[in-house]
Amino acid sequence: MAQFDVNINGKNLSVDVDPDTPLLWVLRDHLKLVGTKYGCGIAQCGACTVHLNGNAVRSCQLPVSSIKENKITTIEGLSEEGDHPVQKAWLEHDVPQCGYCQAGQIMSAASLLNSNPSPSDAEIENAMNGNICRCGTYTRIKAAIKTASN
């Protein structure tokens, strides 16, 4: 066990965990930020996606010891009132079905639009193809990203 200082959703926090502990479990078990989901645990499904300095990363494969001074944002910290343009577009298009993968989908979409505010269809497909949805909401996800883009 060791102490790690982390910046999560704009707050400086300290956790006492094994250095190899994946960020996902620090978020869920230690900080009770359970919006970020566990799907596969092997960086294949995207359910655990959070932002590292605004870029989408898989928290299930990110050891807490590697975070250092980088800023982490989870779905809870994406906006104050759930009113990020991607979240508003998700509501407008009624995207979720079961909802389990949707926090990861939204974080990936928000990261895409951070770096590319007007993505093409191909760029959306490319950015989102690592986020799996077993309900098959892909058509609505793409429409919502189009709505949230400029």
Q: Using CB under 6 A, list all residues that contact ligand FES.
A: 38-41, 43-48, 58, 60
In the complex, least distance from residue 69 CB atom to ligand FES, rounded to whole angstroms = 23
Which residue in this structure is represented by tokens 């605004």?
54
The span from the CA of 138 to the CA of 100, in Å, is: 14
Closest CA to 50 of 31, 68, 71: 71
In the complex, least distance from residue 120 CB atom to ligand FES, rounded to whole angstroms = 25
Nearer to ligand FES, 23 or 89 (CB): 23
Q: Which tokens belong to 131?
A: 């986020």
Nearer to ligand FES, 27 or 89 (CB): 27
Nearer to ligand FES, 77 or 130 (CB): 130
In the complex, least distance from residue 25 CB atom to ligand FES, rounded to whole angstroms = 11
Nearer to ligand FES, 34 or 43 (CB): 43
β-bridge mates for residue 6, sequence order: 13
Instruction: Tell me the residue number closest to ligand FES, measured at CB.
Output: 60
In the complex, least distance from residue 107 CB atom to ligand FES, rounded to whole angstroms = 12
Name residues whose C-beta falls within 8 Å of residue 82's C-beta, 6 or more positions apart in sequence. Answer: none
**Within 10 Å of residue 3's Cβ, how many Cβ atoms?**
8
Nearer to ligand FES, 46 or 119 (CB): 46
**Within 10 Å of residue 105's Cβ, how many Cβ atoms?**
27
79: left (phi over 0), alpha (psi -120 to 50) or beta: beta
In the complex, least distance from residue 81 CB atom to ligand FES, rounded to whole angstroms = 27
